[in-house]
């Protein structure tokens, strides 16, 4: 099976030993507390689940700046996005042991226990430098920049021990899976070549066919559809609706035992190319051998070029830094000539009129008015779920 990133075995930071877990919970009750922001909480969940192997906790300022500017930590580990605990709290001292509390669950239960090795002040200039490198912009209208630049100027670094997976297990019991669990299931199924597909949206015909193309061309044993379950920007479709759409599509249109539907607990960064590389790392950690990188992967608005998230793998990712291989996808659309979904670059004899393409805005308008998009764009069973959702919120 493919090795995890930067390690010979997965390194989840969740405390699985029952006795140790209970002892830590008791200890945490008497420790000073920090209420995390959602970004730091999401990082803790990903560290706990093994997705961020081989990291042992939150990065210090030197590593965060090095990752942002050079795509590697001070000791040379290739990594595309700083994994940090930025806060507005300033009363915490280096050398202390603290309970990290969950901002996304009622009562703010303890999410993790942290040994604070350093407390550093991050200047506004350093925040701007990191934002520019991570997101390619410092425009405050960019949703990722807007969140990142408001987290605070105090950086806490050090190892953590994770005690729960926030709201993800409770709200998505059939979908949320750790990297450990996905690796185990891949082994149980006997899959050797495994394609991972990232989504924060329902899957339309183009996404479905893209997965099918990758599976056929790579002769893959299976596809892991791996959906983001954390916070999105306003207007994105909620996770339960996406989950229902994807399950219906896989149930009706893929052969049995060829698709695993799973999800992970992370907030969307909308960091385009940098986030695509992060996606590849944690898909390697969960056991996938190949990862589909599509048009404007992890993008938002017009901040990134259509294929920037693909070219970063050849231009900035050092050779051998990743074991997982990329399946680079072009724009996909339904061809009226061929009566099927194709990658547009593979249909050079087509004119724009030969394709059926719809903008997201037009599709949302149709769904809100109770009109199903054409079957060439969306499976009718999926469209029905989306129509019900949009009509429930008033279009």
**Does residue 201 have an active-site annotation?**
yes
Nearest to 271 by CA among 145, 155, 150, 146: 145
Per the rule left: phi > 0, alpha: psi between -120 and 50, beta: everything else, 50 is left
DSSP characters for 255-276? -TTSEEEEEE-------THHHH
Q: Which two tokens stand for residue 395?
A: 């279009």
Instruction: Specify the residue for token string 């993008």.
Output: 299
- Nearest Cα neighbor of 149 from 165, 137, 163 is 137
* Tokens encoding 219: 């002769």
Q: Choosing from 200, 212, 247, 364, which is the catalytic residue?
A: 200
Active-site option among 201, 247, 331, 364: 201
Give, in degrees to the nearest 5, the angle at Cα 82 between 180 and 263: 35
Whole-angstrom distance, CA of residue 55 vs CA of residue 312: 22
CA distances from 126 to 89, 138, 153, 314, 358 (A): 18, 12, 9, 27, 41
Backbone phi and psi for residue 310, each to the nearest 5 degrees, phi listed first: -95, -45
Return the sign of the alpha-carbon dihedral for residues 164, 167, 172, 177: negative
Length in residues, the chain: 395
Is 200 an active-site residue? yes
Could you write out the DSSP letters of every residue in 292-327? Answer: EE-TTTT--TTSS-TTHHHHHHHHTSPTTS-SSEEE
Residues 196 and 210: their CA atoms lie apart, in Å, by 11
List all residues 6 or more positions away from 100 whose beta carbon is below 8 Å from its beta carbon: 33, 34, 36, 40, 41, 44, 85, 110, 111, 112, 113, 114, 160
Joined together, the tokens standing for residue 241 give 């609706």
What is the rounded distance in angstroms from the CA atom of residue 240 to the CA atom of residue 231? 12
* Residue numbers annotated as active site: 200-201
């Amino acid at each position: 099976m493919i090795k995890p990133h930067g390690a010979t075995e997965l390194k989840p930071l969740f405390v699985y030993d029952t006795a140790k877990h209970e002892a830590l919970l008791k200890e945490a009750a008497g420790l000073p507390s920090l209420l995390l922001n959602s970004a730091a909480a999401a990082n803790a969940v990903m560290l706990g689940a093994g997705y961020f192997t081989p990291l042992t906790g939150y990065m210090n300022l030197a590593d965060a700046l090095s990752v942002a500017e050079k795509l590697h930590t001070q000791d040379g580990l290739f990594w595309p996005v700083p994994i940090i605990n930025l806060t507005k709290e300033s009363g915490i001292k280096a050398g202390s042991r603290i309970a990290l509390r969950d901002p996304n669950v009622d009562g703010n239960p303890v999410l993790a226990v942290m040994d604070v090795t350093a407390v550093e002040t991050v200047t506004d200039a350093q925040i701007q430098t990191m934002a520019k490198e991570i997101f390619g912009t410092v425009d405050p209208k960019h949703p990722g920049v807007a969140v990142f630049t408001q987290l605070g100027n105090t950086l806490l670094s050090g190892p953590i021990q994770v005690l729960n997976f926030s709201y993800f297990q409770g709200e998505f019991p059939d979908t949320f899976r750790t990297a450990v669990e996905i690796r185990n299931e891949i082994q149980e199924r006997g899959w050797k070549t495994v394609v991972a597909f990232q989504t924060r949206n329902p899957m339309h015909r183009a996404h479905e066919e893209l997965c099918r193309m990758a599976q056929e061309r790579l002769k893959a044993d299976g596809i892991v559809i791996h959906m983001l379950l954390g916070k999105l920007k306003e207007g994105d479709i909620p996770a339960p609706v996406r989950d229902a759409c994807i399950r219906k599509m896989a149930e009706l249109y893929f052969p049995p035992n060829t698709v695993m539907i799973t999800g992970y607990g992370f907030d969307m960064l909308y960091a385009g190319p940098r986030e695509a590389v992060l996606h590849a790392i944690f898909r390697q950690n969960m056991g996938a051998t190949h990862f589909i990188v599509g048009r404007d992967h992890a993008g938002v608005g017009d901040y990134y070029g259509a294929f920037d998230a693909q070219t970063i793998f050849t231009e900035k990712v050092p050779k051998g830094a990743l074991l997982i291989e990329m399946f680079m996808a072009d724009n996909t659309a339904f061809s009226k000539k061929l009566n099927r979904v194709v990658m547009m670059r593979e249909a050079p004899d087509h004119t724009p009129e030969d394709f059926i393409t719809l903008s997201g805005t037009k599709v949302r308008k149709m769904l809100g008015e109770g009109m199903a998009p054409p079957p060439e764009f969306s499976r009718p069973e999926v469209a029905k779920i989306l129509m019900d959702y949009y009509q429930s919120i008033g279009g």
